[in-house]
Amino acid sequence: MHEGGKLAVAATIPLTSPEDLSRAYTPGVAEVSRAIADDPSLARRYTWVANTVAVVTDGTAVLGLGDIGPRGAMPVMEGKAVLFKQFAGVDAVPICLDTTDPDEIVETVARLAPSFGGINLEDISAPRCFDIERRLDARLDIPVFHDDQHGTAVVVLAALRNAVRLLDRDLAGLRVVVSGAGAAGVAVTRMLAAAGVADLVVCDSRGVLSGDRSGLSPVKATLAAETNPRGVTGSMADALRGADVLIGVSGGRIDEAAVAGMAPDPIVFALANPTPEVHPDVAHRYAAVVATGRSDFPNQINNVLAFPGIFRGALDANARTITAAMKLAAADAIAAVAADDLRPDRIVPSALDPRVAPAVASAVAAASD
């Protein structure tokens, strides 16, 4: 499947005669170039920019493989581009940068930006990813979206909305524990807070993020200040005691005893891939609803449910940025696709469901107004 790569460039026009050639290229193309030079906004109409996204990585946080470098990351970025095209008709170009310096990444992407209608940042390690996305979003007039953060958060919220609906519970009243304070953990926490979850506790490998913890990075210190309203301290087991929801985005193992200490019939999303924080067989001993990041178990929390439609909607709306409202709208749209047939083993649509990307695109475009 991967021999020769998974992508190719295809022409959208015929070149079967000298007239075709003279119109598509020189001399005819000069008229289009002059028009765009006079009015840069015409690039959206007369070039591929309005339908093309750059998928940019430095190869420092690829899947569960870690820092494998730009060449090792290329098969993943190619795959991402295939998903963009397959599910949303968006053309995507993988760009693997041979630098891990945030300043160089920001400057390189900014220089490349005129060729694209959006920037999908991918597999860039935390905490650098936060700074890189923030700076590019402020600098560019096209959408910038770090999928490892926000794509994960959107699908987690969609799944949690449906799990709560299935169990006849109240989203705002949940006690939620997030295991992991990296890119996905930070974004999931903030997305759930924006959706109305008030009781959020975040844990890293050393335990609960709280105000009395020393040595926290600036990102973790901010997260500690924004969460943990009951002042929980201690270990993961302490955080999970009486909790309604566990969302694992850390890759660290969580003991069965800690899961057993949760509230009755909890919700467990153990999303590390390929090895979930809690194996589904163990989680099912206690949980009413279980989700993973794997395709060989039910309820796969898969970012492909989010990013193709999000970019399709943002491109269609000529959006300059992807706002919190657009991400919330995307989560609601994903949840709605599965809402008519909810079961404990079906709280999100299949990644192959053709209804998802159009529904997300429509919701995102509407929310961009």
Token pair belonging to 289: 């609803």
Please confirm, yes or no, whether 80 is among the known catalytic residues: yes
Catalytic residue among 80, 220, 286, 327: 80
Candidates 122, 142, 261; CA nearest to 183 is 122
Annotated binding-site residue? 302: yes
d(CA 221, CA 213): 9
Query: Catalytic pick from 6, 25, 286, 327?
Result: 25
Instruction: State whether residue 245 is helix, strand or coil.
Output: strand
Is 98 within any annotated ligand binding site?
A: no
25 is catalytic: yes
* Cα torsion 115, 119, 122, 127: sign: positive
Please compute, for residue 109, the number of CA atoms within 13 A of its CA located in the half-sphere on the CB side.
39
Residue 163 and residue 289: Cα distance in Å, rounded? 7
Q: Which two tokens stand for residue 197?
A: 């979850």
End-to-end CA distance of the chain: 41
Which DSSP category does 207 fall into? E
Confirm whether residue 316 is marked as ligand binding.
no
273 is in an annotated binding site: yes
Asked whether the bond before 40 is cis by omega within 30 degrees of 0, the reply is no
Give residue for tokens 């705002």.
172
Q: What is the C-alpha separation between 49 and 43, in angstroms, rounded?
A: 7
Residue 148 marked as a ligand binder = yes
Binding site per annotation, positions for a divalent metal cation: 122-123, 148
Q: Which residues are annotated as a binding site?
A: 122-123, 148, 273, 302
The binding site for (S)-malate comprises 273, 302
Active site residues: 25, 80
